[in-house]
């Protein structure tokens, strides 16, 4: 093992401390089980399958892993069910920011659908303002605990509904008040992104940013429409671009026209390995397309999707990838810089995060082996002397 290898192979603790960037995380998919139980009790929500936090956490993981779409969707009915008041939204958003910061995330874009939080009488605007307040509170608590994080919100429209333009206009009104972009989510099959062209055309006229869930379950047509009809800045998941890449027996790799376009245009892919395993996009971490996409230098990023349902975090995602592909701190930095380059905040702020936070953070981690080596050598010399 060379010194370079020693320097770059991350330990679990280094993975956790490494400055990470998260672009694809659902607010209603990352609640703490204990918070769900407490909010259910406070708001008279009686539908939970378990009221013990530990058992409830296990239920969420098992339901998400069951292979049943019905059970998977049921998990969100419970999290959304307890997120119908202002206080609940503030709390969930604050805890989200705290949890991400504790996990070493320095920048995150967290998405949610305002239209799903109106059952308690809140307006769309009140939902957005409550979540933004929670993110700011979470950032403040993180600073008090010695962590730094910046969180931007992505407002999501549900692709099976008919409120995309309304939510796009909402995202534009709050674009300088904590909201950094727009998204559509929900079942891809039968609900192509082109159903919401009016929303995307509006955002383009307003010079605003948007990502589209595409290429997770439905494949290349979904990716093509998201890019060429709708003009998406990023692809939410986009993992099925692998269907347009052919690996020959002799090792040659041939990219189709769409895959070449995505790579050449540096279109960011919001890859979510653990979630993709649950939805059948890959059979194992070792077989996940991220390995090939990394080698081919696509603009690949690593994300959590739904931390509660997938029992994951950014640290766990990278631990799986380090084990599967032998990734180093250099690889982690590459993914993190990719993500920061692809964020929806202004260019100068992205650049400052890369140069002043991310690169110095990885440089410090990569230097730690040298001091361990020095201490070890000093100890052996002292014992001999």
Catalytic residues: 216
Helix (H) / strand (E) containing 255? strand 253-255
* Cα–Cα distance measured from residue 94 to residue 238, given in angstroms and rounded to the nearest whole number: 29
In order of 216, 244, 296, 358, the CA distances from 275 in angstroms are: 10, 21, 22, 25
Half-sphere exposure of residue 299: CA atoms within 13 angstroms, side-chain side? 23
* Cβ atoms of 124 and 115 closer than 8 Å: yes
* Cα–Cα distance measured from residue 203 to residue 92, given in angstroms and rounded to the nearest whole number: 28
* Cα–Cα distance measured from residue 105 to residue 335, given in angstroms and rounded to the nearest whole number: 13
* Cβ atoms of 307 and 338 closer than 8 Å: no
* Cα–Cα distance measured from residue 325 to residue 7, given in angstroms and rounded to the nearest whole number: 17
Give the three-state DSSP class for 150.
strand
Helix locations, the chain, DSSP H:
3-8, 12-17, 33-42, 53-65, 69-81, 86-102, 124-144, 164-173, 197-205, 220-224, 257-264, 273-279, 290-295, 314-325, 329-341, 347-353, 359-384
* Cβ atoms of 157 and 167 closer than 8 Å: yes
* Cβ atoms of 367 and 28 closer than 8 Å: no
Which of the 8 DSSP states describes residue 29?
Answer: G
Torsion sign across C-alpha atoms 329, 331, 334, 336: negative
Q: How far does the chain reach from its first CA to its final CA, in angstroms?
A: 28
Phi, psi of 133, rounded to the nearest 5 degrees: -60, -40
* Cα–Cα distance measured from residue 177 to residue 186, given in angstroms and rounded to the nearest whole number: 26
């Amino acid at each position: 093992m060379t010194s370079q290898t020693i320097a770059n192979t991350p330990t679990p603790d280094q993975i956790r401390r490494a400055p990470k960037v998260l672009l694809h995380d659902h607010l209603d998919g990352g609640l703490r089980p204990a918070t769900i139980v407490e909010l259910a009790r406070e708001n008279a929500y009686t539908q939970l399958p378990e009221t013990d936090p530990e058992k409830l956490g296990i239920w969420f993981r098992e339901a998400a892993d069951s292979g049943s779409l019905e059970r998977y969707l049921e998990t969100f009915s419970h999290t959304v069910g307890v997120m119908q008041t202002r206080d609940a939204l503030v709390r969930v958003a604050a805890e989200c920011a705290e949890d991400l910061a504790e996990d070493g995330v320095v920048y995150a874009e967290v998405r949610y659908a305002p239209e799903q939080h109106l059952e308690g009488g809140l307006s769309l605007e009140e939902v957005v303002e409550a979540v933004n307040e929670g993110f700011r509170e979470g950032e403040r608590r993180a600073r008090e605990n010695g962590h730094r994080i910046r969180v931007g919100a992505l407002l999501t429209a549900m692709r099976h509904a008919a409120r995309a333009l309304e939510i796009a206009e909402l995202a534009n009104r709050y674009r300088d008040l904590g909201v950094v972009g727009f998204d559509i989510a929900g079942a891809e099959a039968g609900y192509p992104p082109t159903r919401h062209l009016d929303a995307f055309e509006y955002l383009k006229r307003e010079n605003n940013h948007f990502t589209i869930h595409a290429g997770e379950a439905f494949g290349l047509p979904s990716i093509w429409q998201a890019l060429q009809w709708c003009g998406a800045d990023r692809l939410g998941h986009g993992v099925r671009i692998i269907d347009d890449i052919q690996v020959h027996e002799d090792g040659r790799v041939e990219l189709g026209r769409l895959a070449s376009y995505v790579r050449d245009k540096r279109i960011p892919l919001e890859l979510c390995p653990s979630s993709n395993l649950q939805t059948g996009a890959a059979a194992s971490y070792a077989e996940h397309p991220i390995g090939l996409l990394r080698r081919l230098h696509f603009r690949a990023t690593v994300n959590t999707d739904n931390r509660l349902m997938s029992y994951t975090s950014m640290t766990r995602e990278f631990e799986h990838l380090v084990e599967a592909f032998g990734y180093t701190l250099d690889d982690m930095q590459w993914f993190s810089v990719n993500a920061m380059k692809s964020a929806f905040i202004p260019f100068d702020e992205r650049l400052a995060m890369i140069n002043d936070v991310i690169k110095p953070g990885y440089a410090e981690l990569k230097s730690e082996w040298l001091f361990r080596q020095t201490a070890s050598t000093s100890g052996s010399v002292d014992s001999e002397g």
